[in-house]
A and B are shown apart, each in its own frame.
Chain A
Amino acid sequence: EAGVVQSPRYKIIEKKQPVAFWCNPISGHNTLYWYLQNLGQGPELLIRYENEEAVDDSQLPKDRFSAERLKGVDSTLKIQPAELGDSAVYLCASSSGTGGADTQYFGPGTRLTVL
Chain B
Amino acid sequence: DAKTTQPTSMDCAEGRAANLPCNHSTISGNEYVYWYRQIHSQGPQYIIHGLKNNETNEMASLIITEDRKSSTLILPHATLRDTAVYYCIVTRSTGTASKLTFGTGTRLQVTL
Contacts and interface: CB of A to CB of B under 8 A. Distances in A.
Contacts of B26: none
A104 B45 CA distance: 9
Interface in A34-72: 40-45, 48, 50, 55
Given A42-B87, A42-B103, A43-B102, A97 B96 contact: yes
B97 A44 contact: no
Nearest to B42: A108
A30 interface: yes
A84 B43 CA distance: 22
B111 to A, nearest CB: 22
A99 B43 contact: no
A103 B98 contact: yes
Counting contact residues on chain B (CB < 8 A from A), the size range is 20 to 34
Contact of A45 (B41, B44, B46, B99): B99
B98 A106 contact: no
B97 A107 contact: no
A57 B41 CA distance: 26
Which applies to chain A's interface (DSSP): helix, strand, loop or mixed? Answer: loop
Contacts of A107: 43
A99 B104 contact: no
B51 interface: yes
B95 interface: yes
B68 interface: no
Contacts of B103: 42
A106 B102 CA distance: 13
Nearest to A49: B97
Given A50-B96, A99-B95, A99-B96, A42 B102 contact: yes
Interface of A: 4, 30-31, 40-45, 48, 50, 55, 91, 93, 95, 97-109, 111
Interface of B: 32, 34, 36, 41-46, 49, 51, 87, 93, 95-100, 102-105
14 contacts: A30-B96, A41-B102, A43-B100, A43-B102, A45-B100, A48-B97, A91-B44, A97-B96, A99-B93, A102-B93, A104-B46, A104-B100, A106-B46, A111-B41
